[in-house]
Amino acid sequence: MKGRPIDQLVYEVMFPKPRQQDPHNFQALLQRHLVLEVRQEVHSFYGHLDTQEAKYPGLDYTHPVHRIRLSRWPWHRRLFRAFDALRLTHAEISNLTKWEGTKWAKERFEKEQGIIIHDTTADDFSDFVEPEDRTTTTTNNTRQTAAALAAEESDEDLQSVGVALNERLRERVALRNLSGDMHLPLDEEWETWLKNALESGQLGQISRLGSGSSSADDFPRRMVAAARAGHWEQIPEFLHAPIRQGLAMEHQPPREELMALGTRARERADDSQRVVEPSPHVGS
């Protein structure tokens, strides 16, 4: 006895109680929804329909990856749920899915034209190699390059400039005090370096200067002590404003204390506005 057609079984699973606006059979479903979703998937995947591969993508409804791609569309999700509910075999699915964009359409076109349409999906991926068979050439080359770069570093680049810089700064401070010219820069090279470091964010804490969150702890203790003593000539001019801001923040009460003061003020205001109602007069 011949069984019922597969397309009829799939339609009944997808539409157990068809409504008036639903497709009346599987062919109507195919023309109204499934072919349209195939065209949308092809255009979304390739971005065009200019090549033979895009015109005949060869979508295989039994291929897991192709099922994932097509499952993005609502009517195909319902179609695959019907396939799974009926437990259709690969042969039954292949015999059913013979429409535009499918594997059947691609194989038919290739046979009629005598050509093979190349699938370029995996062209940009290299062949898989087992981890134990992979070469270590890349790793070795990277290590050799790093070692060569490290060997080229000069010892002069690692020498500290602190001693010579400290001597120059002392000389400039003494010269300022003798000449009385407080606009004389301490050390132009050092000030330029520090300014660039601050602007580029290379310094950790001091990189916050000028952002409104600097404090006295962000600066060297020597500079902070000189500022508190009023010796601003010992501090670079472009650091005057941030240091003043940091010193001013020391005299501001913490945020929690300000909030507590505000709460107490509101409570006192509420108390002053309360009116004590007089007790009712008891007549004699």
Residue 233 has pLDDT above 60, yes or no: yes
Q: How much of the chain, in percent, has pLDDT values that exceed 70?
A: 61
The band of 186, judged by pLDDT with boundaries at 50, 70 and 90, is: low
Identify the domain boundary among 113, 143, 158. 113
Average pLDDT over residues 178-200: 67
Q: What is the pLDDT of residues 132-178, one digit of tens each?
A: 777 655 566 666 777 776 666 554 454 555 566 667 777 777 776 76
Q: What is the pLDDT of residues 5-35, one digit of tens each?
A: 999 999 999 999 999 999 999 999 999 999 9
Identify the domain boundary among 89, 113, 137. 113
Task: Answer positive or negative: Cα dihedral of 60, 64, 66, 70.
Answer: positive
103 and 20 together in one domain: yes
The band of 79, judged by pLDDT with boundaries at 50, 70 and 90, is: very high
Residue 55 has pLDDT above 80, yes or no: yes
What is the reported pTM? 0.45
Range of the domain at 224: 181-268
Give CA separation, 77 vs 69, 94, 187, 193, in Å: 10, 17, 73, 64
Quote the distance between the C-alpha of residue 227 and its chain's center: 43
Q: What is the pLDDT of residues 95-133, one digit of tens each?
A: 999 999 999 999 999 999 999 988 887 777 777 778 877
Winning range, highest mean pLDDT, from 37-46, 147-156, 234-243: 37-46
**Which structure tokens are listed for 272?**
């002053």
- Helix ranges (H only) for 4-136 are 6-14, 26-29, 35-46, 52-55, 64-70, 74-86, 90-96, 103-113
- Helix ranges (H only) for the chain are 6-14, 26-29, 35-46, 52-55, 64-70, 74-86, 90-96, 103-113, 137-152, 162-179, 188-200, 221-228, 240-250, 255-273
Identify the domain boundary among 88, 113, 138. 113
> Considering the domain boundaries, does residue 126 fall inside one?
no
Amino acid 42: pLDDT: 92
Q: How many domains does the chain have?
A: 2
Amino acid 48: pLDDT: 84
Amino acid 255: pLDDT: 60
Residue 263 has pLDDT above 80, yes or no: no
Residue 192 has pLDDT above 60, yes or no: yes
Average pLDDT over residues 194-204: 63
> Considering the domain boundaries, does residue 45 fall inside one?
yes
> Considering the domain boundaries, does residue 251 fall inside one?
yes
> Considering the domain boundaries, does residue 65 fall inside one?
yes
More confident site: 53 or 193: 53
Burial class (CB in 10 A: 0-12, 13-18, 19+), 158: exposed
More confident site: 16 or 188: 16
98 and 194 together in one domain: no
